[in-house]
Amino acid sequence: MSGIGIKTGDTVEIITGKDRGKRGKVVSVEPTAARVVVEGRNLAKRHLKPRPVPGSGGQQMAPGGILDQEQPLRRSNVMLVCPSCDKATRIGKQADKKGRVCKHCGTEIDK
């Protein structure tokens, strides 16, 4: 388990910012920076110029345009959604259970 308690593939709810209250799936986790990337959330515009395709000798051009790109969020701005009670929850640990435990319903998240 990563040091921040959220893994790739978890469903999280964003608790602050422009996407507050929205849910999404975690695409990647950066534990050293305490950041997570959530699918389809915290989007930023990326402007690309048309560029020659490598290996085509400049004959073919890769199209330019404006792309929406997912940006990392601070770990403190997201909460894990419990799969059993479907609530945004804090993560706990118990001595008798391995893995993460929901603070609302007490069920084990990792099975």
Query: pLDDT by residue (tens digit) across 63-91?
Result: 999 999 999 999 999 999 999 999 999 98
2 domain-assigned: yes
Residues paired with residue 24 on neighbouring β-strands, in sequence order: 12
CB atoms near residue 42 (< 10 Å): 20
Query: pLDDT by residue (tens digit) across 36-55?
Result: 999 999 999 999 999 888 88
Q: Please tell me the pTM assigned to this model.
A: 0.79
Tell which phi-psi region holds residue 107, choosing left (phi > 0), alpha (psi between -120 and 50) or beta. Answer: beta
> CA 14, CA 74: separation in Å to the nearest integer?
10
SS3 70: strand
Residue pair 14/37 in contact (Cβ under 8 Å)? The answer is no
Q: How many domains does the chain have?
A: 1
71 domain-assigned: yes
- State the CATH number of the domain containing residue 3: 2.30.30.30
10 domain-assigned: yes
92 domain-assigned: no
Structural domain span for residue 28: 1-48+65-84
